[in-house]
Amino acid sequence: MLARSCVRPMRAFASARNGAVQITKRAASSSSGSSAESPLRLNIAAAAATAVAAGSVGWYYHLYGNSHAMTPAEEGLHPTKYPWVHEQWLKTFDHQALRRGFQVYREVCSSCHSLSRVPYRSLVGSILTVDEAKALAEENEYDAEPNDQGEIEKRPGKLADYLPSPYPNDEAARFANNGALPPDLSLMVKARHGGCDYIFSLLTGYPDEPPAGAQVGAGLYFNPYFPGTGIAMARVLYNGLVEYEDETPATTSQMAKDVTEFLHWAAEPEMDDRKRMGMKVLVITSVLFAMSVWVKRYKWAWLKSRKIVYDPPKEGQTKIRD
Amino acid sequence: MGFWDTITDLVEAATPWSVAEAEAPAQETTEETTAETTQEETETKPEAAAEEPAAEEEAKEEEEEEEEEEEEEEEEELQDPKEVFEEECRNSKECAPAKHHYDECVERVTAAQSQEGGANEDCVEEFFHLVHCATACAAPKLFSVLK
């Protein structure tokens, strides 16, 4: 029976298409046997579909109980929009802030998070001077080319090397962090919905204590902005944690703002160039567009301004006009 | 950095006698200049003070008082402006409804928790609304203070 009703949907569909017409027909004359059958079948199908839907919902509740799905906690609190200066159309990164942000990354975040897509050379000129970058690179050791015996020795880093990662691999990182992997931060601003706003909110949004009744899993910390609200990263930024060389007061929000802007730079170092190029493109194309409009009007002027006149022959006049 | 600065920068960069510094300037020279400037300052200060002693003294006293206050503030623990503004915002009229709901929820849930069955709800949603309101209200103020 079920199989047969499954085979039939084509016919049922065809009759449904005619349904509206048939109903009006039936209103006109009550003596049509075959057309009265189809609405009945339709009603049965609708009732069956409703029963199946209600049944599956009931079955779900029977299996999983009164589960809380699609709660705001699951989604996480959407970050507030902050008026970032560097995100404005005509503004660039603030390189003093980038320098402070890099300091925060190096002194705080780099013990857990890698920044593996950023080489020392890209820091030159935007964050550090050549000498500072070289000195920083030389603090770390990297694998050298194989020597005569084919052994790989260590050499001090140089500008072409990439920033070192805190852990040799993901497993080591998980092992050191209670099973949670601190993600690479190179592209973090692009990788999260909300970008800078999200990261700033995440870093500054740890409440003193979770709201009443909130469930926080073992080894997790309550953060409203993290989807699910339980994050494996504890609050890391506290007032006065770093000492800025330009003597900016190192409050939590100041450090979070700086490191977020730095991470934006890490994810999108080409932003300043991109905006300048965009400006050039807009200026040049708008000039070219204006010129093309003018040229078009100029070239079409004779065609657009001509006048076609139909001069009908006068009544009774046989002679064709010359 | 105004428009005029941009033009003077461009002109400076284009002049043949200008020097482009790719490296940090040498350490020694900066030390010398700072020493010089501090000397100059110390030299000029007594002169200025001698000119108008009475008025200067009054002004100085006020300045000193202000300085003392500033120092005290610095000695105290750093205050995160975000927390200050958000606290203000939480208690403002704007966020009163959200705060009211949150406080009520906390009361209800803590009361339920102390009883046998425990609470079968949490205040996460109310907390979200309150935080959302407070951060949105504090955001422009905060970013006008931060560097």
pLDDT tens-digit series, residues A258-280:
999 999 999 999 999 999 999 99
Kindly tell me if the per-residue pLDDT of A32 is higher than 80: no
DSSP A278-316: HHHHHHHHHHHHHHHHHHHHHHHHHHHT------PPPTT
Query: pLDDT by residue (tens digit) across B106-146?
Result: 999 999 988 877 778 889 999 999 999 999 999 999 999 99
- Is A109 labeled as ligand-binding? yes
Query: pLDDT by residue (tens digit) across A53-111?
Result: 999 999 988 888 766 678 889 999 999 999 999 999 999 999 999 999 999 999 999 99
Q: Which two tokens stand for residue B41?
A: 């300052």
The confidence score (pLDDT) of residue A322 equals: 59
Q: Which of A132, A226, A253 to mutate to test the interface with B (most CBs of B within 10 A)?
A: A253
The confidence score (pLDDT) of residue A317 equals: 62
Tell me, what amino acid is at A29? S
What percentage of chain A exceeds 90 in pLDDT?
Answer: 79
Pairwise CA distance, residues A53 & A8, whole Å: 20
A130/B146 touch (CB, cutoff 8 Å), yes or no: no
> What is the rounded average pLDDT for all residues in chain A?
89
Contact A238, A244 (CB under 8 A): no
SS3 A63: helix
Residues of B with CB under 8 A from a CB of A: 22-24, 77-82, 102, 105-106, 109-110, 113, 119, 121-128, 131-132, 135-136, 139-140, 142-143, 146-147
Between the alpha carbon of residue A12 and those of residues A26, A257, B7, the distances in Å are: 18, 63, 78
Mean pLDDT of all residues in A200-207:
97
Mean pLDDT of all residues in A42-55:
96
Kindly tell me if the per-residue pLDDT of A186 is higher than 50: yes
Kindly tell me if the per-residue pLDDT of B72 is higher than 50: no
Pairwise CA distance, residues A20 & A79, whole Å: 50
Kindly tell me if the per-residue pLDDT of A34 is higher than 90: no
User: Which pLDDT band, with edges at 50, 70 and 90, does A222 fall under?
Assistant: very high
Shortest distance, CA B102 to any CA of chain A (angstroms): 9
List beta partners, residue A146.
Answer: A152
B80/A253 touch (CB, cutoff 8 Å), yes or no: yes
Kindly tell me if the per-residue pLDDT of A13 is higher than 90: no
Kindly tell me if the per-residue pLDDT of A31 is higher than 80: no
Return the DSSP state at B146. -
B77/A239 touch (CB, cutoff 8 Å), yes or no: yes
- Nearest residue in A to B86, CA atom: A205
Q: Which residues of B touch A215 (CB under 8 A)?
A: 122
Q: How many CA atoms lie within 13 A of A115 on its CB side?
A: 23
Pairwise CA distance, residues B46 & B69, whole Å: 25
- Nearest residue in B to A250, CA atom: B78
Q: Which of A130-144, A217-231, A288-302, B21-35 has the lowest mean pLDDT?
A: B21-35
A213/B121 touch (CB, cutoff 8 Å), yes or no: yes
Between the alpha carbon of residue B37 and those of residues A177, A266, B31, B67, the distances in Å are: 52, 38, 10, 22
Q: Which of A251, A258, A279 to mutate to test the interface with B (most CBs of B within 10 A)?
A: A251
Contact A157, A168 (CB under 8 A): no
Instruction: Return all residues near A155 (Cβ < 8 A) that are at least 6 apart.
Output: A141, A142, A143, A144
Higher pLDDT, A168 or A314: A168
Shortest distance, CA A229 to any CA of chain B (angstroms): 9
Q: Which of A20-24, A171-175, A281-285 has the lowest mean pLDDT?
A: A20-24
Q: pTM for this structure? A: 0.73
What percentage of chain B exceeds 90 in pLDDT?
Answer: 39
Q: Which residues of B touch A248 (CB under 8 A)?
A: 147
> What is the rounded average pLDDT for all residues in chain B?
75
Higher pLDDT, A183 or A312: A183
SS3 A142: strand
Pairwise CA distance, residues A13 & A38, whole Å: 10
Residue in the structure block whose two tokens are 């020392």: A120
CB count within 10 Å of CB A306 equals 7
Mean pLDDT of all residues in A121-128:
95
Kindly tell me if the per-residue pLDDT of A167 is higher than 50: yes
User: Which pLDDT band, with edges at 50, 70 and 90, does B45 fall under?
Assistant: very low
Contact B142, A253 (CB under 8 A): yes
B122/A213 touch (CB, cutoff 8 Å), yes or no: yes
The confidence score (pLDDT) of residue B41 equals: 47
Kindly tell me if the per-residue pLDDT of B73 is higher than 60: no
B123/A73 touch (CB, cutoff 8 Å), yes or no: no
Pairwise CA distance, residues A49 & B118, whole Å: 40
Kindly tell me if the per-residue pLDDT of B47 is higher than 60: no
The confidence score (pLDDT) of residue A83 equals: 96
Contact A189, A71 (CB under 8 A): no
Q: How many CA atoms lie within 13 A of A17 on its CB side?
A: 5
CA nearest neighbour of B107 among A213, A97, A51: A213
Instruction: Return all residues near A3 (Cβ < 8 A) that are at least 6 apart.
Output: none
- Is A196 labeled as ligand-binding? no
- Is A86 labeled as ligand-binding? no
Mean pLDDT of all residues in A145-150:
93
Residues of A with CB under 8 A from a CB of B: 71-73, 77-78, 80-85, 96-97, 125, 129-132, 201, 204-205, 207, 211-215, 224, 229, 239-240, 248-254, 257
- Nearest residue in B to A94, CA atom: B147
CA nearest neighbour of B86 among B126, B123, B140: B140
A84/B81 touch (CB, cutoff 8 Å), yes or no: no
Between the alpha carbon of residue A167 and those of residues A109, A143, A180, A236, the distances in Å are: 13, 16, 13, 19
Q: Which two tokens stand for residue B131?
A: 């935080």
Q: Which residues of B touch A96 (CB under 8 A)?
A: 147
The confidence score (pLDDT) of residue A69 equals: 74
Contact A32, A25 (CB under 8 A): yes
The confidence score (pLDDT) of residue A20 equals: 47
Contact A18, A41 (CB under 8 A): no
- Nearest residue in B to A254, CA atom: B146
A213/B113 touch (CB, cutoff 8 Å), yes or no: yes
Instruction: Closest CB to A214: pick one of B82, B124, B140.
Output: B124
The confidence score (pLDDT) of residue B24 equals: 67
Shortest distance, CA B21 to any CA of chain A (angstroms): 10
The confidence score (pLDDT) of residue B49 equals: 43
Higher pLDDT, A68 or A28: A68
Burial class (CB in 10 A: 0-12, 13-18, 19+), B43: exposed
